[in-house]
Structure 1
Amino acid sequence: MTATLGTTAPRSGVDAAVTLTGVRKEFGTGQHAVVALDGVDLQVAPGEFVCLLGASGCGKSTLLNLVAGLDAPTSGRIGLTTSRPAVMFQEAALMPWLTAERNVELPLRLAGVRRGERRARAGELLELVRLSGVGRKRPHELSGGMRQRVALARALASAQGSADDGAPALLLMDEPFAALDAITRDVLQSELARVWRETGTAVLFVTHDVREAVRLGQRVVLLSSRPGRVVREWAVEGRDPAELIEDVTGRLREVISGHAAA
């Protein structure tokens, strides 16, 4: 089949799908203010797969919400070359009254895509995530792993609008496999890697699992404990996975230990 979300080659003149510059996020005011993120600089290139790693509470999900436009930074700047990044959460959050096909169609319908075209796209995307035979089933008829595949297809459909004008597509993923059993998680990690290669979608993937980050990402970015700051980055290509996992795990432990001793 033909991939539905562009290619890994960036549009002329576009060198980043998203750029964060000096991003700070505070919750509350005055003495009760909590700084979740402070001075975050990060760039994700078109078609790049970046894993954002850190301990619980370090601001990973907050950062993702800021990029998605679900919240605004207190200061700093977030630049997007795609006007509508797609988001996938830990829960599939499918509409229970809609079939799998209609769930995938929903963002296309909201974007004003005509019925025939959105049905064709939904069929292509379900085939892409290897669910071509379940389009008429409702979420309660599907396993947890299958529901997450439908959620992935829906997220890709949402990102489609960004790719239509030649801009890089961007997919934001907040620990989407954390609630699944180990075998299903392993399968879906492989499927996500395959889908990413076929579509060329830029991915910013939040996880606390070092092995998952090294397995999926082209680049692993480590945030400090609160307030979250970028403290280290690793390029995955050309590195021995076991060695890299040990390196990243050691640095993560240092970050956690340093926070506990503060």
Structure 2
Amino acid sequence: MTATLETTVLSTVDTAVELAGVRKVFGHGGSAVVALDGVDLKVKPGEFVCLLGASGCGKSTLLNIVAGLDAATSGQLQLNTSRPAVMFQEPALMPWLTAARNVELALRFAGVGRLARKRRALELLELVRLGDVADKRPHELSGGMRQRVALARALASTTVSADGAPALLLMDEPFAALDAITRDVLQSELLRVWETTNTAIIFVTHDVREAVRLGQRVVLLSSRPGRVVREWDVRDSSDEVLDEINTHLREVISGHAS
């Protein structure tokens, strides 16, 4: 008998998202690949969680399952959030639209009226410090600015739900393609926006320093098949915690390569 993923909506607000025993298998028979195997993870409303792991351990697959872009083979996913928004490495902006119109797009798809979505788009561009480039098109913006427009658009997606449901933002290495200085600036901007909006964030990265700087909690996945093997509270992190995470990540990567 094939198990299926159960998705329910929680009646309380103490948990934004919870995965229990989530398993993902690609393919069938002898060619099947187990990407995730028994993943348990809980994220509270407003919590910033960073996922670490070796390449190919299933971090992006896990994010896709939470986002509803892919289905798990078995396990349980519980959501008590607005529709999850996703940010990837590439901004994926519509090149023929202005920054403001790109942000509006998420609101338009959600059925928000024209005046309301124009107002909200400008508010979100102001939030990411881009209010003065609302009428610029993507090719007129730097890489960092384009990612900030993408962040504003993602935040627009998280705010279209009624009933005051907690917001959830899923970020798949959004700063990996940027230079070090721009990445540092955007990390600071993301923290400021997160503190302002109280949005729950699941952030995938391969950079331990980025994970410790941004997250309240760092979660380490094993090599394939991915499962949660360690967690650290990094709100008051030290060099010792950073070294410990690095050591365990190296062990996971070594196991993945062997």
State the TM-score, normalized to the length of structure 2: 0.94
Is the aligned partner of 1:251 residue 2:248?
A: yes
Q: Distance in 1 between matches of 2:153 and 2:37?
A: 32
**Cα distance change of structure 1 residues 83 and 196 upon mapping to structure 2, 3 Å threshold:** closer
Instruction: After TM superposition, give the deviation of residue 12 of structure 1 in Å.
Output: 8.5
Is the aligned partner of 1:73 residue 2:69?
A: no
Instruction: After TM superposition, give the deviation of residue 227 of structure 1 in Å.
Output: 0.4
Q: Distance in 1 between matches of 2:153 and 2:257?
A: 40
Q: Distance in 2 between matches of 1:53 and 1:141?
A: 34
| Secondary structure at the counterpart of residue 161 of structure 1 | coil
Contact preservation (8 Å) 2:82, 2:166? no
Q: Within 5 Å, give how 1:1-262 maps onto structure 2.
A: 13-162=12-161, 164-240=162-238, 242-261=239-258
Q: Could you tell me which runs of 5 or more consecutive residues in structure 2 were left unpaired when the two chains were aligned.
A: 1-9
| Secondary structure at the counterpart of residue 77 of structure 1 | strand
| Secondary structure at the counterpart of residue 171 of structure 1 | strand
Q: Distance in 1 between matches of 2:120 and 2:232?
A: 36
Q: Distance in 2 between matches of 1:13 and 1:38?
A: 27
Contact preservation (8 Å) 2:171, 2:203? yes
| Secondary structure at the counterpart of residue 95 of structure 1 | coil
| Secondary structure at the counterpart of residue 225 of structure 2 | coil
| Secondary structure at the counterpart of residue 238 of structure 1 | coil
Instruction: After TM superposition, give the deviation of residue 109 of structure 1 in Å.
Output: 0.7
Runs of 4+ in structure 1 off by over 6 angstroms are: none
Instruction: After TM superposition, give the deviation of residue 254 of structure 1 in Å.
Output: 1.2
Which amino acid is the alignment partner of residue 211 of structure 1? R
Q: Distance in 1 between matches of 2:69 and 2:236?
A: 36
Contact preservation (8 Å) 2:209, 2:242? yes
Instruction: After TM superposition, give the deviation of residue 237 of structure 1 in Å.
Output: 1.7
Instruction: After TM superposition, give the deviation of residue 166 of structure 1 in Å.
Output: 1.0
Contact preservation (8 Å) 2:86, 2:170? yes
Instruction: After TM superposition, give the deviation of residue 74 of structure 1 in Å.
Output: 0.3
The RMSD of aligned alpha carbons is: 1.2
| Secondary structure at the counterpart of residue 117 of structure 1 | helix
Instruction: After TM superposition, give the deviation of residue 83 of structure 1 in Å.
Output: 4.7
Residue in structure 1 matched with residue 3 of structure 2 by the alignment: none
Instruction: After TM superposition, give the deviation of residue 243 of structure 1 in Å.
Output: 2.0
| Secondary structure at the counterpart of residue 220 of structure 2 | strand
Contact preservation (8 Å) 2:21, 2:40? yes
Instruction: After TM superposition, give the deviation of residue 159 of structure 1 in Å.
Output: 0.4
Q: Distance in 2 between matches of 1:126 and 1:245?
A: 34
| Secondary structure at the counterpart of residue 13 of structure 1 | coil
- Provide the aligned length of Structure 1 versus Structure 2: 249
Q: Distance in 2 between matches of 1:253 and 1:180?
A: 24
State the TM-score, normalized to the length of structure 1: 0.93
User: Which segment is superposed worse, 11-20 or 140-149?
Assistant: 11-20
Q: Distance in 2 between matches of 1:88 and 1:153?
A: 10
Q: Distance in 1 between matches of 2:147 and 2:234?
A: 26
Q: Distance in 2 between matches of 1:104 and 1:259?
A: 39
| Secondary structure at the counterpart of residue 131 of structure 2 | coil
Which amino acid is the alignment partner of residue 144 of structure 2? G
Q: Distance in 2 between matches of 1:44 and 1:78?
A: 12
